[in-house]
Structure 1
Amino acid sequence: MEKKRCIAMIPSPGLSHLIPLVEFAKLLLQKHNEFIITFLIPTFGPLSSSMQSILNTLPPNMNFTVLPQLNNIQQDLPIEPATQMKLIVKNSVPFLIEEVKSLISKTHLIALVFSMFSTDAHDVAKQFNLLSYLFFSSGAVLFSFFLTLPNLDQSANTSKFLESCYETVNIPGVEIPFHVKELPDPILCERSSDTYKSLLDLCQKLTLFDGVIINTFTDLEQDVIRVLQEREKLCVYPIGPIIRKESNNETNMEVCLRWLENQPPSSVLFVSFGSGGTLSYQQLHELAFGLEISGCKFLWVVRVPSKNSSSAYFSKQNDDPLEYLPNGFLERTKDKGLVVASWAPQVEILVHESIGGFLSHCGWSSTLESVVNGVPMIAWPLFAEQKMNAKELVDVLKVGVRAKVDDENGIVKRDEVVKAIKGIMEGDESLEIRKRIKELSVGAANALSEHGSSMKALSDLVVKLHDY
């Protein structure tokens, strides 16, 4: 009996990278169920309950193997999340090789699909003569910049080359230049730092793959996608928007949805900073006072404050975050807002008719969820590539407003919070923003329709898989 064609997917560590890859796998099997898919999960410790829940509920034709934990490197991991993830995958390559050998013996393994920070495992595909694809869970603008970075680096002659050599950077396919400080955090590091060298190494490997699958769609990033597809030796498949259909965790589900049912349509601002974002103590208070002064209805997911804006990405927080709010805040705002600790069912919240705006860290998954549901955004980036996403949302797509940061202390003050809220919840500017994001929402639905651009890209990818 002929073995079924198998595709192995290697996600970068962390919930925000696992979710879009799992959703892509579901989409692929929904349209082309002749494949089986196995996830090979690198990790340096036990999986979070959310990750375990996702993996334990995979549909038929999908399974997973968690690679051995890398407990011995835990002390050596850098603070910066992207560098952490890349190092974890690099140290997991020997285990990955053994699993690939096992899959080859049991199945007709044809391809490996790598997440963004799993590029160090690319040689495994080459070693076993397998197709290799990069699943890029962020947008085409970021991917276009990453392709440009090695050329920028070659022309540099200073230790902090972007800050020293350039004030702005032009990204192929984008009319508006990006200020250096709007680029991903590692760009601002010394060129000799592990963080910068890790990102540069990733960017230098992007053209080695047989194809790049990008979680975006034509109407959202049309010019950038066109420029990418015109490049030689680069097969780009824009197959988005790939987002969750339902939350994998029911924590605070009932309380949030019950509260939203009692609110008027488009009246509530949803405030959340993704699966890992955190605010400092001072910023937490400024945001709280801004929400209170605005008088706007809000649903806020609060985390324990930290000076490290990505502190919740890998670490579990045990304190009660509500204890860190300003004295009397919950009592004073009980008729206007709902505050929940640590987690909320974002998928179900953003689709609810009571939601009128989304104050977001601008992670790409959250950005796509907001676009699909036609919810305008207040851009409040914290780390990684989120400043680039914010720039794209506000200045290129014009579907949101930016929470302006005070130059002296790096804090968004309460009066700026109020101004941003009114910018998307009230007035003529709000109406224009809503009109534009509703148009993008329609474009997203069209892209995933039977003859839409994303479904065509997916079909083109499947043809390549079948021909191998």
Structure 2
Amino acid sequence: MATDVGHSSPEHRHLENGLDRHQVVVLMVPLPAQGHLNQLLQLSRLIAAYNIPVYYVSTATHNRQAKLRVHGWDPLSASNVHFRELPTPEFASPPLNPNAANKFPAHLQPLFNSISQLRQPFAALLRSLSRIAAQRIVIIHDSMMSSVVQDFVSIPNAESYVFHSVSAFAIFCYFWEETEKTFTQLDDNKLRELQIPSLEDCFTEEFMELIAREHKCVGLSSGSLFNSSREFEGKFMGFIEKMSESSSQNKKHWAIGPFNPVNLTRKNEDGSRHESLKWLDKQPPKSVVFVSFGTTTSLPDEQIKNLATGLEQSEVKFIWVFRDADRGDINSVAGSDQDRIRRSCELPDEGLIEERGMILRDWAPQLEILNHSATGGFMSHCGWNSCMESISMGVPIAAWPMHSDQPRNAVLITQVLKIGITVKDWARRHEVVEAGTISMALRRLMLSEEGEEMRRRAAELGGAVRRSVEEGGVTRLEFDSFISHVRR
């Protein structure tokens, strides 16, 4: 049950007792979908390290989901990260239809529609905290939660910053199209020549309506944050800043990623390690491709069969995360386990496939897998969370976008950064990728000189990104700048 924000809970008393020692308190408000939950929980860890109390605010269901799946650290052991629960609204939680022509996770729309019910409980929480906050409450919210937090404007000591859960390149593409590619301050001919994928089939009409609704409230924020680094998206951050200046918004923009930990220990505190990591220990360096398409994709049976056959034919070692998409409530699993088992039984020659690799049918420690020395490639949907984890770990990507910002992220990876190859071009999104195409892509990434060169570039970029978060690095300086700004 969610805590009544108007009563003095133990957590509330902790806040009352501790806030007089802090000038700033941060409220983190994620969209309740895994890629969004994870990014802002990881950001909570980073901000808390500056001795700033951070309150991660979501429903009980999604707070539990975020804590269960976070990689690289234990949120329960972080003394400055606290979880506040908003009442969980009722919403339908159907499974995704893997045969839908549009791969956007429309099955999550009931969840997304329900977030409007969080506005009043969040406003009550905000009013409660504002009475005891020493100086300033800083709200960092997903761009898709702008309407939920909008009542902060009535609180004198509150301000908000919008978090864009996508790449700066994706935002650049939207602005670039809005100006019909006439923005005169863009002097990079290579960028002008990029073939930016169409937004057709990236979203459903209903979700686009939701984006439009949230966009009306984004303007209330004081600035924006990106899970990115100027090490590789500096051009696009600069473009966004110039666009902001030209529109007289004069808002600040910070690239303060990667949010995920970049230095991982090999074992959990109890000494345990996931079975996939133990398997990787036995493999040669850079010999394994990690195959995962995120939490919002369920492939059709025909595509699954072709992927399985392609993995077998490639003769490349692999770890394949073969699971259905998340429901809106991951605890609502009635039928989904049986569905997963039924579909797994349709794999051709599963025993033969697993002689060369490992098939995981549940949650996998993606960050640790990407960090392992045996991992040499990542076949990915190019969700931004996955891209940032892969970039920070120096792993090249075989790009297979499904929906949302993913087609444009794939262009960033393959054409701009040149640390990946295309498995499925967005123009052919309605076609099944044949086994031969998959096999050829895997061999190109993992067994060719071209793939070795991509691995070298990815390793160099990953090293630069990891150095950027160290003392004096470009990301650390930018993070310090943001913290100084909110403590001003």
TM superposition score normalised by structure 1 = 0.84
Match of residue 143 from structure 1: 171
1:17-61 deviation line (CA, Å, top 9, x unaligned): 12111211211222x21x211122147xx3475324359625112
Match of residue 177 from structure 1: 194
Which of residues 95, 115, 120 in structure 2 aligns to 1:94? 120
Structure 1 residues 76-115: aligned runs within 5 Å: 80=106, 86-108=112-134, 109-115=136-142
Q: Which range moved further: 398-407 or 315-324?
A: 315-324
Match of residue 277 from structure 1: 297
Conservation of the 8 A alpha-carbon contact between 1:20 and 1:244: no
Conservation of the 8 A alpha-carbon contact between 1:139 and 1:215: yes
For residue 388 of structure 1, report the CA deviation from its aligned partner: 1.1
Match of residue 161 from structure 1: none
Conservation of the 8 A alpha-carbon contact between 2:143 and 2:218: no
For residue 146 of structure 1, report the CA deviation from its aligned partner: 4.2
CA separation in 2, counterparts of 1:202 and 1:47? 20
CA separation in 1, counterparts of 2:82 and 2:388? 26
CA gap of 1:197–1:219, structure 2 versus 1, over 3 A, is same
Match of residue 12 from structure 1: 31
For residue 336 of structure 1, report the CA deviation from its aligned partner: 0.8
Is 1:452 paired with 2:467? no
Conservation of the 8 A alpha-carbon contact between 1:207 and 1:234: no
Which of residues 222, 247, 264 in structure 2 aligns to 1:210? 222
Match of residue 21 from structure 1: 40
Q: What is the identity, as a one-letter code, of the residue corresponding to 1:19?
A: N
Match of residue 404 from structure 2: 384
Which of residues 142, 158, 162 in structure 2 aligns to 1:134? 162
Q: Which range moved further: 329-338 or 276-285?
A: 329-338
For residue 275 of structure 1, report the CA deviation from its aligned partner: 2.6
| Partner SS, residue 198 of structure 2 | helix
For residue 16 of structure 1, report the CA deviation from its aligned partner: 1.7
TM superposition score normalised by structure 2 = 0.80
| Partner SS, residue 300 of structure 1 | strand
Question: Identity of counterpart residues, as a percentage?
Answer: 23
Match of residue 243 from structure 1: 260
Match of residue 144 from structure 2: 117
Q: What is the identity, as a one-letter code, of the residue corresponding to 2:141?
A: F
Conservation of the 8 A alpha-carbon contact between 2:164 and 2:225: yes
Which of residues 68, 79, 87 in structure 2 aligns to 1:60? 79
CA gap of 1:201–1:426, structure 2 versus 1, over 3 A, is same
Conservation of the 8 A alpha-carbon contact between 1:111 and 1:125: no
Conservation of the 8 A alpha-carbon contact between 1:273 and 1:360: yes
For residue 407 of structure 1, report the CA deviation from its aligned partner: 4.0
Conservation of the 8 A alpha-carbon contact between 1:83 and 1:195: yes
For residue 112 of structure 1, report the CA deviation from its aligned partner: 1.0
1:160-186 deviation line (CA, Å, top 9, x unaligned): xxxxxx9xx999674443445356713
For residue 323 of structure 1, report the CA deviation from its aligned partner: 4.5
Q: CA RMSD in A?
A: 3.3
Q: What is the identity, as a one-letter code, of the residue corresponding to 1:278?
A: S
Q: Which has the higher contact order (CA 8 A, sep 6+)?
A: 2
Structure 1 residues 290-329: aligned runs within 5 Å: 290-304=310-324, 312=327, 314=329, 316=333, 317-319=336-338, 321=340, 323-325=342-344, 326=346, 329=349
Q: Which range moved further: 226-235 or 255-264?
A: 226-235
Structure 1 residues 282-431: aligned runs within 5 Å: 282-304=302-324, 312=327, 314=329, 316=333, 317-319=336-338, 321=340, 323-325=342-344, 326=346, 329-404=349-424, 407=428, 409-431=430-452
1:221-247 deviation line (CA, Å, top 9, x unaligned): 121111123332121100011114669
CA separation in 1, counterparts of 2:471 and 2:297? 36
CA separation in 2, counterparts of 1:127 and 1:87? 25
| Partner SS, residue 138 of structure 2 | strand
Conservation of the 8 A alpha-carbon contact between 1:170 and 1:178: no
1:236-261 deviation line (CA, Å, top 9, x unaligned): 1000111146699x9x9532112111
CA gap of 1:254–1:456, structure 2 versus 1, over 3 A, is closer
Match of residue 51 from structure 1: 66
Is 1:69 paired with 2:69? no
| Partner SS, residue 219 of structure 1 | helix
Q: What is the identity, as a one-letter code, of the residue corresponding to 2:133?
A: T
CA separation in 2, counterparts of 1:52 and 1:82? 20
| Partner SS, residue 53 of structure 2 | strand
Match of residue 158 from structure 1: none
Match of residue 162 from structure 1: none
Conservation of the 8 A alpha-carbon contact between 2:32 and 2:62: no
CA gap of 1:148–1:128, structure 2 versus 1, over 3 A, is farther
For residue 150 of structure 1, report the CA deviation from its aligned partner: 6.3
CA gap of 1:411–1:402, structure 2 versus 1, over 3 A, is same
CA gap of 1:125–1:303, structure 2 versus 1, over 3 A, is same
CA gap of 1:104–1:416, structure 2 versus 1, over 3 A, is same
Q: What is the identity, as a one-letter code, of the residue corresponding to 1:295?
A: E
For residue 365 of structure 1, report the CA deviation from its aligned partner: 1.2
Conservation of the 8 A alpha-carbon contact between 2:139 and 2:159: yes
| Partner SS, residue 338 of structure 2 | coil
Q: What is the identity, as a one-letter code, of the residue corresponding to 2:173?
A: F
Q: What is the identity, as a one-letter code, of the residue corresponding to 1:142?
A: A
Is 1:2 paired with 2:28? no
| Partner SS, residue 303 of structure 1 | coil
**Aligned length, in residue pairs:** 437
Gaps spanning 5+ residues in structure 1: where?
153-165, 305-309
| Partner SS, residue 417 of structure 1 | helix
CA separation in 2, counterparts of 1:170 and 1:145? 15
CA separation in 2, counterparts of 1:258 and 1:347? 15
For residue 82 of structure 1, report the CA deviation from its aligned partner: 7.5
Conservation of the 8 A alpha-carbon contact between 1:448 and 1:454: yes
CA separation in 2, counterparts of 1:141 and 1:177? 12
Conservation of the 8 A alpha-carbon contact between 1:149 and 1:203: no
